[in-house]
Chains A and B, each alone.
Chain A
Amino acid sequence: MSRLSSENVLVAEEIIARYPRPKSAVIPLLHLAQEQDGYVTDEAMSHIAELVDVTPAEVIGTCTFYEMFKREEVGKYMINICTNISCQLLGGEELLHHAEKTLGIGHGETTDDGMFTIEDVECIAACTEAPCLQVNYRYRYFVTPADFDELVDDLRVGRVTDVSPHGTLTRSRQHIPAAKQAGIVPPEEAREQPVWLPAPEEGKA
């Protein structure tokens, strides 16, 4: 469907320029593609391959290793319910079943209106607030079935302010002003030690 937009190519170039080797930017750029389209398209992966100078197969190889990258359309809101040990002990599985029943879908599935996808996820590091879930990677803690129903209603009518559509992780990006950048140090360049280190002692190399 879509390559990265010209605006996103500029963002991509800024990201690539921070790494000694361009391929390091693959995961951030896959996130950028997912932010643009809601999921990662084949065209976007080919475009990323061009931008970082690897083959499309290498980008696909990386993409398919990581759980967060979706290669098909998913709901506007991805609801990830944790069922790992700390949440299991306090009702995570019951919450997942309630969510499936309420939305009429199984985990890994999307509602017909394209609003919600449910996932049965591994630990999301909120173990002391069990059971917990994330909506597009924003947390909700101590979630009861009633809380879940309220959340779904709020999302439907747009009453939730801290959650962006699926694909958008953060509201701000790192930006390094050119004048302040220390500069990348590629491994290929034979390098002296950094200037702030004292001269090596004799015989210590």
Chain B
Amino acid sequence: MSQAHLQNTPGYVNNEGMKIVTSRFGYEDSFTIDRYLATGGYEALRKGLTMAPGDVHGEVKNASLLGRGGAGFPAGVKWGFCPPGKFPRYLVVNGDESEPGTYKDRLLMQRDPHQIIEGCLLTCYALGLSQCFLYVRGEMALAQERIADALNDAYEAGYVGKNILGSNFSVDIVLHWGAGAYIVGEETALIESLEGNRGMPRLKPPFFPAAIGLYGQPTIVNNIETLANVPWIITNGADEYKKYGSETSPGTRLFAVSGHVKRPGVYEVEHGVTTFRDLIYGDNFCQGIRDDNELKMFIPGGASAPWFFPEQLDLPLEARSVGAAGSMLGSGAIVVMDETTDAVKAAARIVRFFSRESCGKCTPCREGTTWEEDILNRMLSGKGRPGDIETLLKAASNISPGVYPVAAWEEGGLVAVPFPPKQTTICPLGPSSVAPIASAIRRFRSEFEAKIDEAAHATIEVSVGGGS
């Protein structure tokens, strides 16, 4: 199978269109300081240092740069949440990418680490942050290596550290790395982990990081991709940034499309205007479903997102529309499943993930995800019992009470229930485990029933055979 497009950067597809964060990905040596400087690198920092810190903040705020980690909150607004007058303040960069289906931050770290470093510097300058901790997922060895090398070169050249470019702006960027725990991608758990602890989330309120974060101080936590946009915005201005994408979701965004498509890959896409159909079927993107099969369902924003179906294909890649339609755009991870997919098996695999990754702090999640996994495994292994669907939904409702977000389905009489779900837990991990369950049961209940029926028949055969 030819994978010519993967030679340079596995996963990345250099499709037609505006490139903001992947502009250097075509270069073999895109991660070096020489290439970075030769392609306009650290010019945004030079420009930023001639501006007042508040104006750098203002530019990012005007650009309406939405956070790329999952929640989609405007970065410039988040930056404004630090209580005035309280110092020191810190920057924590979330490079703990581990939402199933998500593959973009690792690419940015491996292919253009200086772009992230420059984004960190501008953020620290704008907000008066005294130190930056760049937290890279433990399993991403090459990303850690590239960032370590990039930081060493940037310190040597005077872009990071004391009196940057001869100014009175001084900040250290410290590479930190994790050790394997999905939950650490949650911002308060990330802070716990960075303090050397077990990565268990903190209750919000009061522990909103901007107010009480790292070491109890105001802390800005931003995703890698979010910060990678900042140098471009400072160089070109907010107005230029807003020429791309939609009014509510400006700029471009990275989407990883995986699963049963002809050309899976990470695409830089105009935010807010491109539709799921464009992305999955378009010639410039994934070019349709493998073997020209029918689309059965797709996950629009990582394993935590409720599933979408062919009816939702024409929605734009825009957070509000996707939220109103019953799911979330999340971390830009689209997983496509064709007609051959076993919905129960797919749901069970995602639930197993949440069950394994539950940190154990909240009882509904710790116990509930285990029950969900057990019941689904029982169904899959031909031991499902009558009433298991109801038991499963009951276990799920202990973690997320009320009506779970769902996509509209006319034939099945379902109207859209908007995102997010309710939760009885501190963080959204537990409620996320309900997404595949609620999605699959409401749309493909007959597949669950069929598994239970098969089990019932198998039981009868055994009892007849072994009875007399």
* A residues in contact (CB < 8 Å) with B: 18-21, 23-28, 30-31, 52, 54, 58, 61-62, 65-69, 80, 83-86, 88-90, 122-130, 134, 136-139, 141-142, 169-177, 179-187, 189, 191-198, 200, 204-205
Contacts and interface: CB of A to CB of B under 8 A. Distances in A.
Contacts of A137: 138-141
A169 B177 contact: yes
Interface in B227-286: 256-260, 264-266
Contacts of B87: 191-194
Given A89-B337, A125-B98, A174-B152, A169 B141 contact: yes
Interface of B: 1, 3, 6, 10-11, 52-54, 84-85, 87-88, 97-103, 105-106, 125, 128-131, 137-142, 144-145, 147-149, 151-152, 155-156, 158, 160-162, 167-172, 174-182, 193-199, 214-217, 256-260, 264-266, 299, 303, 333, 335, 337, 341, 345-346, 349-350, 353, 356-357, 359
Nearest to B105: A125
5 contacts: A30-B179, A31-B179, A61-B197, A88-B349, A122-B353
Given A27-B178, A122-B356, A127 B101 contact: yes
A125 B97 contact: yes
A189 to B, nearest CB: 8
Output the residue of A19, A179, A185 with the most chain B CB within 10 A: A185
A205 B86 CA distance: 9
A115 B345 CA distance: 33
B257 A171 contact: no
A181 B172 contact: yes
A173 B196 CA distance: 19
Contact of A61 (B10, B138, B198, B257): B198
Contact of B171 (A129, A141, A182, A187): A182
Contacts of A176: 155, 161, 172
Given A130-B258, A172-B145, 5 more contacts: A89-B258, A125-B137, A126-B10, A169-B138, A187-B215
A67 B179 contact: yes
B128 A194 contact: yes
A125 B174 contact: no
Nearest to A137: B141
A197 B128 contact: yes
A104 to B, nearest CB: 24
Nearest to B11: A128
A124 B139 contact: yes
A179 B156 CA distance: 10
Contacts of B257: 128
